[in-house]
Structure 1
Amino acid sequence: MSDMREKIMGTLSTVALPDGGDLASRDMVRALSVDGGAVSFVIEAPTPEQAAGMEAQRRAAETAVAALDGVERVSVILTAHGPAKAAPQPPNLKIGGHPKPQAGPLPVPGVANIIAIASGKGGVGKSTLSSNLAVALARQGRKVGLLDADILGPSQPRMMGTNQRPSSPDGELLIPVEAHGVKMMSIGLMLKSDREAVVWRGPMLMGALQQLMFQVDWAPLDVLIIDLPPGTGDVQLTLAQKSQLTGAIIVSTPQDVALLDARKAIDMFDKVKVPILGLVENMSTYVCPNCGHEAHLFGHGGVRDEAAELGAPFLGEIPLSLDVRLAGDSGTPAAAGAGPVAEAYATLARDLVARGIA
């Protein structure tokens, strides 16, 4: 392993930079991973401006490493370390302001609709909803993609049951992997294992997200589902500013503390002019498999009431079920099967298709 890493770094020392030096001597190589014949690493430029002019070096590094004996697949991400130069009119980030996009937003080639799955809080089921909705839409005959935008905590490879590494035959675009009829991309597919941490700064996260959006051969898709991380930070803002979103679906449990954070996510999308396509109440009810008693462990109806107050569509309730957890852990989303939970996701998918947004 160490010999291979030395060979790779030696090879990268032959990739010259426009302003002098090479990738190795300028210490631009990060997160180098060697897993059998699969190699992945990040090229971290000092600034976004320099990164914008280094695509040729990224391709050269990928080609050079791919030529080494024992290397079967190579994945290279180009990102930046430092902040961009100050724009003449910086985004207004004051409370109540509307951030201005620096460039774009742009469509993703070959993708008809882009739907972000969001909430202001973790643990309410965004990733579960994203994977199951993607599978449910595919079962409705739609051409569906699923982008895991939770760069620091990618979970879609486990939920979709794949650890296949994306390929890049032409050295330009990554080919998404396919699972359950869905094209899928996640930074988790490029890590050595699901225990490997991604320890990146904000600019690196934003650079990686843009590459996963625009340097992946998604086409043709009727809809791309994006599983967002919790909060209202860099990833959400980058997505809204750089890509043409059809809209966002907000997922929350019915309890007040979750709804508080969901309202923040709604306010954030309002500030960046992204439509709210509707709200989903997750973990809405629990039916005991032994006695059939129905209980509302996290309350009930809070999301429906919030949707009514906002004048936004209420898209439905997803029950709390052990089957959902087991299905996610096993890599076969519950929507791929049958039963009440699968039907709940199918109903949500049919509604989106009927509205022409998926």
Structure 2
Amino acid sequence: MCCSIFRRLKIRSFASTKNLFTSRYFGHRYQRTRRDRKVNNIMDHCDGNCTECGAKDSCASQPIKKSKPNELSKIKRIIGVLSGKGGVGKSFVTSSIATYLSRRGLNVGILDADITGPSIPKAFGIKEKAYGEENYIFPAETIGGIKVISATMLLEKETDPILWRGVLVSNLVVQFFENVAWGELDVLLIDMPPGTGDVALTIFQSLPIDDLIVVTSPQDLVSLIVSKALNMAKMMNIRVLGVIENMSYLLCPKCKEKIFLFGKSSLEKFAKEMNFNILGRLPLDSKNSLLMDQGEIEKMNLEEMHDIINKIIGE
């Protein structure tokens, strides 16, 4: 798993995809994906005799081995932050959790796994690029000491699109985990891509995620989408810490009354039906949204986050 790809890689839209397919690391994983499809075909005709089977070493019935961090990384806990769909403020919630965990004195890192729509670096005002030495990639560090790695840090321009197919996106996330020199972390947050597609599946299968937080919004349609996310976590045997409802209400600046712009939430009823915990509700707040746009999310002030953090760290 040579890290030299990161020293030379400057993503230039679709053109760089060809280079990645021929790289030693990504090429190997691409070939493995093709091989696994062949294994699945063999499984259709499996007689249960593994001793003479040419696919026994990569059989689809075998458990997938979890990736391990490198010797320069000691990570105590890994938490994935997932939303069943885009537009619910998942990256805002991830950034907020990281900020408040850091304020509690914890060493925190963020792996931005939303490769095609990364927003974590912008939230923290990170401009520097990723760089590597030997077999390691070194993350950027925010003003508050939060370590961050993101695909944006590989781009010549942050506005350049990343036109990659799912297998490349998945493999980059895995390499971020395996090759980044995180140092000692109390918590690594993984800002997952929205939805429950192949990239999310690869992350669940490949990375040793301890817990999952699901981010949602008050709309009725979200109950169906959250159900899919919760069921996916259950199928992958990953513990769900609970659900955070973002954009739950707007607090009137004059009378402090809660205004439910999307209608009153049915989260309590849904939580009883699906048997999950509600970690908390976050309001719409233009000040915090502006701080995120300005790259100053660590200056945020959100009282509701205190109870959420207490539940996450078990206090």
Q: TM-score, normalised by structure 1?
A: 0.72
- In the TM superposition, residue 79 of structure 1 has moved relative to its aligned partner by 7.2
Instruction: Tell me which of 26, 31, 35 is aligned to 1:85.
Output: 35
Cα distance in 2 for partners of 1:292, 1:315 equals 22
Cα distance in 1 for partners of 2:211, 2:118 equals 22
What residue is the counterpart of 1:178 in the other structure?
Answer: 141
- In the TM superposition, residue 286 of structure 1 has moved relative to its aligned partner by 0.5
- In the TM superposition, residue 345 of structure 1 has moved relative to its aligned partner by 1.7
Matched, 1:215 2:176: no
Cα distance in 2 for partners of 1:101, 1:253 equals 37
- In the TM superposition, residue 107 of structure 1 has moved relative to its aligned partner by 4.0
Cα distance in 2 for partners of 1:155, 1:101 equals 36
Matched, 1:203 2:203: no
Whether the 8 Å contact between 2:83 and 2:195 is mirrored in structure 1 is yes
Cα distance in 1 for partners of 2:249, 2:262 equals 8
Name the SS of the counterpart of 1:127 in structure 2. helix
Question: What do you get for the CA RMSD once the two structures are aligned?
Answer: 2.8
Question: Which is helix-richer, 1 or 2?
Answer: 2
Cα distance in 1 for partners of 2:247, 2:295 equals 20
Whether the 8 Å contact between 1:79 and 1:207 is mirrored in structure 2 is no
How do residues 142-291 of structure 1 correspond to structure 2 at under 5 angstroms? 142-168=106-132, 170-179=133-142, 180-291=144-255
What residue is the counterpart of 2:20 in the other structure?
Answer: 44
- In the TM superposition, residue 346 of structure 1 has moved relative to its aligned partner by 2.6
Unpaired stretches in structure 2, ≥5 consecutive residues:
44-59
Deviates more, 1:101-110 or 1:303-312: 101-110
Cα distance in 2 for partners of 1:260, 1:117 equals 18
Name the SS of the counterpart of 1:349 in structure 2. helix
Cα distance in 2 for partners of 1:158, 1:78 equals 30
Cα distance in 2 for partners of 1:197, 1:183 equals 24
Seen in structure 2, the aligned counterparts of structure 1 residues 30 and 135 have a Cα distance that, compared at 3 Å, is closer
Seen in structure 2, the aligned counterparts of structure 1 residues 198 and 100 have a Cα distance that, compared at 3 Å, is farther
- In the TM superposition, residue 273 of structure 1 has moved relative to its aligned partner by 1.2
Cα distance in 2 for partners of 1:274, 1:106 equals 15
Seen in structure 2, the aligned counterparts of structure 1 residues 234 and 182 have a Cα distance that, compared at 3 Å, is same
What residue is the counterpart of 1:306 in the other structure?
Answer: 270
What residue is the counterpart of 1:347 in the other structure?
Answer: 307
Q: Deviations over 1:211-243 (max 9, x none)?
A: 111110112111111111111112211111111
- In the TM superposition, residue 182 of structure 1 has moved relative to its aligned partner by 0.7
Q: Deviations over 1:260-316 (max 9, x none)?
A: 211111111111111111111111110122454421012333233322322222101
Cα distance in 2 for partners of 1:273, 1:354 equals 20
Cα distance in 2 for partners of 1:122, 1:320 equals 17
Q: Deviations over 1:73-93 (max 9, x none)?
A: xxxx87755633036457x9x
Matched, 1:120 2:96: no
Cα distance in 2 for partners of 1:128, 1:279 equals 14
What residue is the counterpart of 1:20 in the other structure?
Answer: none
Seen in structure 2, the aligned counterparts of structure 1 residues 112 and 81 have a Cα distance that, compared at 3 Å, is same
What residue is the counterpart of 1:336 in the other structure?
Answer: 299
Matched, 1:103 2:103: no
Name the SS of the counterpart of 1:220 in structure 2. strand
Cα distance in 2 for partners of 1:270, 1:240 equals 11
What residue is the counterpart of 1:5 in the other structure?
Answer: none
Seen in structure 2, the aligned counterparts of structure 1 residues 266 and 101 have a Cα distance that, compared at 3 Å, is farther
Between the aligned residues of both structures, percent identity stands at 31
Seen in structure 2, the aligned counterparts of structure 1 residues 196 and 100 have a Cα distance that, compared at 3 Å, is farther
Q: Which amino acid aligns with 1:249?
A: I
Q: TM-score, normalised by structure 2?
A: 0.81
**Larger RCO of the pair (alpha carbons < 8 Å, separation 6+):** 2
Cα distance in 2 for partners of 1:348, 1:78 equals 42
Q: Deviations over 1:145-204 (max 9, x none)?
A: 011100011111111111111222x32111111113211110011112221100001111
Cα distance in 1 for partners of 2:173, 2:223 equals 27
Cα distance in 2 for partners of 1:302, 1:101 equals 41
Name the SS of the counterpart of 2:137 in structure 1. coil
Whether the 8 Å contact between 2:210 and 2:239 is mirrored in structure 1 is yes
Unpaired stretches in structure 1, ≥5 consecutive residues:
1-22, 24-28, 34-39, 56-76, 93-98
